[in-house]
């Protein structure tokens, strides 16, 4: 049944208790200023014949508070009703206080706006004072409740504190007079606890007293309604104390008592604050099953869909239902309208359909309070979000006329002036604000606007980033100081829209790095801007995963730093929110292109065009399409695509007028560099030089000038003009961010083109001299390692260790260098010490185990690997590394050297082969979870690892049947593995299953026609079937295509001998010598010659054959 009918039925069955429950419900609504709900409920009961005087009193004060919220000065209706109720003795005191309140204040939010005192007001004060002396306890408690409700409408003000003190004094009178075990005492204790909790600021004495009062009321026994009120008060107490779990526990108790809708709503709100949205949504649907027009439930569901799922269809549907519910219950509640609209506007991600609906709510609120500057400022903000800047400026001017000191209106007009390009007017407004006071200067939004002005007026990157950092720090500090558990208010304070604006400004300094080998070199001066922007967006995607803009911006950051896996994850999340996003499809194509998944990249590009045809005119699309064509080898088409891209506005020459679609400077430079690379690939070196010369003029004295210089030097290197490249790279000064990149390019040129190892290392020494940092010494050590100067590499790494301390990466480098010098003892000792500092690092543990295995110390290897288990730190331990360690453990246990300690001294608890199989099965179980959790990009590698595990399990199988089963499972995960197919075919051949073996070998030959092992097995099959000609034919094809395939050649020599055609052996041996003049020194060739001599029974050469056999077996060992 609907809530109101339930309550009426309860009142008919149990009049006193039913009215108490209704009073508890009205108190809950009044506490949250939902007076429209009280009016609707009371009117429904009155229409159905319930005319209790207490109901009429609730109706009168609900009318009064509603009139205050809508800023209407017409208090005549509530005052008239209260004047009638004045004659009721049990209501007289509360009614007198209500009359005083409504006649003294027009707007509870502006308590300084007094109506002129009159004789009537004075007489009401005298009458209330007299009535207080002889009022009943019920009358005193009702009057106290009115004072508490009036205080809750304006918490934090002087008037609020005055009302709370009056309520406290009235309740203390009751507590002094009533008996200990009476119901009045219990209710007064609960009411006093509510009053104490409403005082602003932390007062430990009041908190502990309130908790004690509530526990006494709950433990000593009271009526059901009083018990419900007590439980709700305890829940509120625990919430304000920060004990959310205890608060939820109390709310569960209230739900068990009555399945009370307010308790369900409060629990849903707290669960949402704890980010337990699934449970919160379940609570909200329970509410809607009983009250389908519940405004609070619809509002929380809108917030859930906006911030967690991003489902625009559901958002709009719930918004429409929320607006309908508000129209039914709270259509006069201007404060509720503006509170809802401002929070939803901050987390809607700028979606037009949502903003239009939210703006409609704001306009209703402004219509009720047309002179409230706060409401008008919010209206201006939402108009600016929709792009209606002129309307927003006009609204801001209206704000100034009503309240000249309103900061939100001033900031909004500055924002609009910046967006419309009126920078001088915006600067004047900023200067005017700076006169108003220091507190205004510390506004995060003002700092952001100053940063935008600094960048657009003078392009001062350092000032721009500094102001952005100040704004970010201040905004995050404001969030930390936010203690409210109201999720609606929290969304407004966290302000996702502001964070996106802040990150957008940071990302103005983001430029893709230059990649040389595995290193990335950022040429921008403000690398810190990228880190700050990325951190902000990461925080935003964690809190609001339904914001597609945050996912896409974070994906761009990760893409530029070559963190392609994270970027792919973000793009997939964005597409899950909106599969029609052209930007997401375009970025997906770029990511897939870096992974060489060309077919999928092409499909993503086509999807981007299908979602938005205009994307074809963007420079990003042109660059991505040309890169795809170039990767596929279609250089002519790629060249034509890039030539067209240079014709786009703003690429070859900067635009003279402001344009919303003006391409980024680094994108323009990328078009020139990419086209020059294609010209080089087509051997059009003259065109490449001419294009880069044009680019040098185009980007002179810009951030891309050095990038063009580096591209020109790479062109000179590829043309063989190392002297010119040396001059260009030498012109980069040490003060430039590109200095290190230029030296690395020069070093690679010296090593790969000039073959000068000394000059190669000298470039890295120059870097270390210019920047004596740990990173520079690591580069120097890696350079020494590259030219096999191992002792010098260790010295450089030790220097890096002195600069920055022992890190995981550096420890791995030093250990690798020690192993390369065959100093295995020191390497093992170094790895052991590093492992003590980082016990949860599986990579180190794996490296140490491999080293022990090489040193023929399997027991120590097993001891190290046995420590890798599922209890390791999940955040720092990769499941893939665990699986690799378990595979290595299986290899060590199954190695021949393990037999020496198989019994008694083996760290494993069983025979080595059984322990190896157990380790592989554990690895299989772990990898199964990885396969299930892997996304589309990682699934292929995860399945290959699974196939590798099954392949090793097959080797340890007890019989051929189990081995075949394992190989078949491996092929399920990696059906294209020729190695697994070959091993399975070999197993079939040894088992006499010639048909299955032949089928697998033919499948292998279809993918690799020259596969030696498959040809050898086919030859064996045909030989067993006595089809000698077919066997020789298969082997001849392999030998003719690959003369140095000695395994196939040995089998061919044997078959030719058995078929009586030994004379043809010399022909094939001659073919080998023709193919490779040095074949006579190859062991395989000499084995074939020895076999041929043996088959010919050449006594002179048989000893040579024996020597060849002995030599080759020795070499094989």
- The tens digit of pLDDT for each residue in 599-645 reads 899 999 999 999 998 888 888 999 999 999 988 888 899 899 999 88
- pLDDT tens-digit profile of 347-373? 998 889 999 999 999 999 999 888 889
Give 1069's pLDDT tier (boundaries 50, 70, 90). Answer: confident
For 133-160, how does the pLDDT look when each residue is reduced to its tens digit (9 = 90+)?
888 888 899 999 999 998 888 766 777 8
Q: Is residue 299 scored above 90 in pLDDT?
A: yes
pLDDT of residue 575: 93
- Whether 372 and 402 have beta carbons less than 8 Å apart is answered as yes
pLDDT confidence tier of residue 11, bands split at 50, 70 and 90: very low
pLDDT at residue 10, rounded to an integer? 42
Between 417 and 824, name the one with better pLDDT: 417
Average pLDDT, the chain: 81
pLDDT digits (tens, 9 = 90+) for 461-479: 888 889 999 999 999 988 8
The answer to whether the Cα torsion of 179, 182, 187, 190 is positive or negative is positive
Q: Which two tokens stand for residue 531?
A: 């880190």
Tokens encoding 969: 């499972």
Q: Specify whether the CB–CB gap between 71 and 107 falls below 8 A.
A: yes
Specify the pTM. Answer: 0.74
Q: Is the pLDDT of residue 1117 over 70?
A: no
Confidence of residue 48 (pLDDT cuts 50, 70, 90): confident
Taking 70 as the threshold, does the pLDDT of residue 4 lie above it?
A: no
pLDDT of residue 68: 81
Confidence of residue 1094 (pLDDT cuts 50, 70, 90): confident
Strand partners, 516: 519
Rounded to whole angstroms, the Cα distance separating 51 from 57 reads 11
Give the residue-averaged pLDDT of 530-537: 89
pLDDT for 591: 92
Q: Considering only CA atoms, which of 154, 206, 496 is closest in space to residue 344?
A: 496
- Whether 840 shows a pLDDT value over 70: the answer reads no
pLDDT > 70: percent of the chain:
85
Residue 1 has pLDDT above 60, yes or no: no
State residue 23's pLDDT score.
84
3-state DSSP assignment of residue 1060: coil
Task: Answer yes or no: is pLDDT of 870 > 80.
Answer: no
Overall average pLDDT of the 120-127 stretch: 82
Higher pLDDT, 1073 or 645: 645
Q: How far is CA 578 from the centre of its chain?
A: 16
Contacts for 252 with CB less than 8 Å, ≥ 6 apart:
267
Please list, residue by residue across 202-216, b when 16 or more beta carbons sit within 10 angstroms of its beta carbon and e when fewer do. eeeebbeebbebbeb
Instruction: Name the pLDDT band for 205 (thresholds 50, 70, 90).
Output: low
**1046 — pLDDT class (breaks 50, 70, 90):** confident
- More confident: 938 or 232: 232
Confidence grade of residue 16 (pLDDT, cut at 50, 70, 90): very low
pLDDT of residue 661: 59
Give the model's pLDDT for residue 851.
78
pLDDT above 80 (res 215)? no
Q: Is the pLDDT of residue 1108 over 60?
A: no
pLDDT at position 108 is: 40
Distance set, CA 281 to CA 276, 278, 300, 306, 807 (Å): 9, 5, 8, 13, 46
Residue 317, sorted as left (phi over 0), alpha (psi -120 to 50) or beta, turns out to be: alpha
pLDDT at 900: 39
Going from the C-alpha of 991 to that of each of 954, 1022, 1030, 1047, the distances in angstroms are: 15, 16, 22, 22
Name, in order, each residue with C-beta under 8 angstroms of 664's C-beta and a sequence gap of 6 or more.
none
74-116 confidence digits (pLDDT tens): 667 888 888 888 888 888 899 999 888 887 754 344 444 444 4
Q: Is the pLDDT of residue 1104 over 70?
A: no
Query: Which residues on neighbouring strands pair with residue 515, listed in sequence order?
Result: 520
pLDDT at 874: 42
Question: Please, which residues have CB within 8 angstroms of residue 94's CB and are 6 or more apart in sequence?
Answer: 57, 139, 142, 143, 145, 146
Judge whether residue 430 has pLDDT over 70: yes
């Amino acid at each position: 049944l609907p809530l109101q009918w339930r309550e009426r039925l309860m009142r008919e069955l149990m009049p006193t208790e039913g009215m108490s429950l209704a009073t508890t419900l009205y108190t809950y609504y009044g506490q949250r200023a939902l007076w429209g709900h009280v009016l609707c409920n009371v009117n429904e009961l009155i229409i159905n014949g319930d005319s209790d005087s207490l109901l009429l009193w609730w109706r009168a004060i609900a009318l009064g508070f509603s009139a205050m919220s809508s800023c209407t000065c017409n208090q005549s209706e509530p005052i008239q009703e209260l004047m009638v109720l004045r004659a009721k003795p049990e209501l007289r005191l509360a009614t007198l206080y209500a009359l005083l309140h409504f006649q003294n204040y027009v707007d509870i939010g502006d308590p300084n706006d007094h109506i002129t005192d009159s004789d009537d007001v004075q007489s009401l004060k005298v009458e209330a004072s007299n009535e207080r002396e002889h009022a009943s306890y019920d009358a005193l408690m009702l009057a106290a409740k009115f004072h508490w409700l009036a205080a809750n409408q304006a918490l934090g003000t002087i008037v609020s504190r005055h009302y709370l003190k009056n309520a406290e004094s009235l309740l203390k009178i009751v507590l002094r007079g009533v008996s200990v075990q009476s119901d009045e005492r219990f209710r007064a204790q609960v009411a006093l606890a509510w009053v104490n909790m409403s005082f602003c600021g932390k007062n430990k004495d009041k908190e502990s007293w309130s908790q004690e009062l509530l526990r006494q009321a709950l433990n000593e026994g009271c009526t059901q309604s009083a018990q419900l009120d007590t439980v709700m008060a305890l829940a509120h107490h625990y919430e304000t104390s920060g004990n959310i779990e205890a608060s939820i526990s109390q709310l569960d108790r209230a739900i068990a008592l009555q399945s009370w809708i307010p308790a369900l709503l409060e629990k849903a709100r707290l669960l949402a604050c704890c980010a337990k949205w699934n449970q919160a949504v379940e609570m909200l649907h329970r509410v809607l099953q009983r009250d389908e027009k519940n405004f609070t439930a619809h509002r929380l569901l809108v917030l859930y869909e906006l911030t967690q799922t991003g489902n625009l269809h559901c958002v709009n549907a719930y918004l429409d239902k929320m607006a309908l519910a508000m129209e039914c219950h709270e259509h006069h509640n201007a404060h509720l309208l503006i509170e809802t609209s401002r929070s939803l506007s901050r987390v809607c991600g700028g979606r037009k359909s949502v903003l239009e609906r939210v703006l409609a709510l704001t306009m209703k609120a402004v219509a009720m309070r047309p002179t409230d500057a706060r409401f008008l400022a919010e209206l201006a903000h939402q108009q600016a979000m929709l792009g209606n800047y002129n309307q927003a400026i006009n609204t801001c001017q209206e704000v100034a006329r009503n309240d000249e000191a309103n900061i939100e209106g001033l900031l909004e007009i500055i924002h609009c002036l910046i967006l419309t390009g009126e920078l001088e007017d915006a600067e004047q407004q900023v200067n005017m604000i700076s006169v108003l006071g220091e507190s205004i200067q510390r506004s995060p939004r003002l700092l952001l606007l100053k940063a935008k002005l600094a960048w657009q007026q003078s392009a001062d990157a350092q000032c721009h980033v500094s102001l952005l950092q100040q704004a970010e720090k201040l905004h995050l500090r404001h969030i930390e100081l936010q203690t409210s558990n109201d999720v609606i208010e929290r969304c407004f304070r966290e302000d996702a829209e502001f964070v996106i604006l802040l990150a957008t400004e940071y990302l103005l300094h983001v430029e893709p790095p230059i990649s040389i080998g595995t290193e990335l070199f950022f040429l921008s001066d403000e690398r810190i801007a990228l880190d700050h922007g990325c951190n902000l967006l990461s925080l935003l995607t964690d809190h609001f995963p339904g914001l597609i803009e945050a996912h896409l911006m974070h994906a761009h950051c990760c893409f530029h730093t070559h963190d392609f896996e994270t970027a792919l994850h973000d793009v997939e999340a964005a597409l899950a929110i909106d599969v029609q996003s052209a930007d997401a499809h375009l970025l997906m194509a770029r990511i897939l292109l870096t992974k060489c998944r060309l077919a999928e990249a092409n499909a993503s590009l086509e999807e981007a065009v299908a979602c938005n045809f205009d994307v074809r005119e963007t420079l990003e699309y042109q660059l991505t399409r040309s890169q795809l064509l170039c990767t596929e080898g279609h250089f002519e088409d790629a060249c034509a695509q890039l030539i067209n891209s240079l014709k786009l506005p703003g690429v070859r020459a900067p635009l003279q007028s402001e344009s919303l679609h003006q391409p980024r400077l680094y994108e323009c430079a990328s078009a020139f560099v990419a086209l020059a690379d294609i010209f080089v690939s087509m051997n059009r070196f003259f065109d490449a030089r001419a294009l880069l010369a044009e680019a040098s003029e185009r980007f002179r004295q810009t951030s891309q000038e050095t990038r063009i210089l580096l591209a020109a030097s790479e062109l000179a290197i590829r043309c063989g003009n190392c002297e010119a490249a040396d001059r260009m790279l030498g012109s980069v000064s040490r003060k430039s961010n590109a200095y290190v990149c230029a030296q690395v390019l020069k070093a690679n040129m010296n090593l790969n083109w000039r073959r000068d190892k000394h000059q190669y290392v000298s470039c890295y020494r120059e870097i270390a001299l210019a920047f004596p940092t740990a990173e520079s010494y690591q580069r120097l050590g890696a350079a020494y390692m590259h030219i096999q100067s191992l002792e010098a590499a260790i010295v450089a790494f030790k220097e890096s260790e002195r600069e920055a301390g022992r890190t995981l990466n550096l420890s791995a480098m030093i250990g690798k260098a020690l192993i390369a010098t065959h100093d295995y003892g020191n390497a093992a000792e170094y790895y052991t010490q590093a492992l003590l500092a980082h016990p949860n690092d599986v990579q180190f543990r794996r490296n140490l185990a491999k080293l022990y295995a090489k040193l023929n110390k399997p027991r120590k290897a097993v001891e190290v690997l046995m420590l890798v288990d599922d209890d390791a730190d999940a955040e720092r331990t990769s499941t893939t590394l665990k699986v690799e360690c378990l595979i290595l453990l299986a290899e060590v246990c199954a190695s021949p050297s393990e037999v020496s300690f198989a019994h008694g001294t083996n760290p494993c608890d069983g025979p080595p082969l059984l322990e190896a199989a157990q380790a592989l099965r554990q690895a299989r179980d772990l990898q199964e979870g990885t396969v299930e959790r892997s996304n589309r990009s990682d699934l292929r590698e995860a399945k290959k690892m699974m196939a590798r595990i099954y392949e090793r399990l097959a080797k340890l199988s007890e019989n051929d049947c189990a081995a075949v089963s394992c190989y078949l499972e491996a092929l399920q995960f990696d059906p294209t593995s020729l190695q697994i197919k070959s091993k399975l075919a070999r197993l079939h051949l040894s088992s006499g299953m010639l048909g299955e073996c032949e089928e697998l070998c033919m499948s292998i030959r279809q993918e690799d026609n020259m596969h030696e092992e498959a040809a050898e097995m086919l030859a064996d099959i045909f030989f067993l079937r006595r089809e000698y000609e077919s066997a020789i034919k298969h082997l001849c094809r392999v030998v003719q295509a690959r003369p140095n395939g000695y395994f196939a050649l040995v089998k061919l020599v044997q078959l030719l001998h058995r078929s009586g055609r030994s004379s043809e052996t010399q022909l094939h041996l001659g073919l080998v010598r023709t193919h490779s003049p040095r074949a006579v020194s190859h062991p395989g060739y000499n084995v074939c010659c020895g076999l041929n001599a043996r088959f010919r029974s050449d006594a002179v050469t048989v000893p040579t054959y024996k020597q060849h056999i002995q030599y080759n077996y020795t070499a094989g060992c």
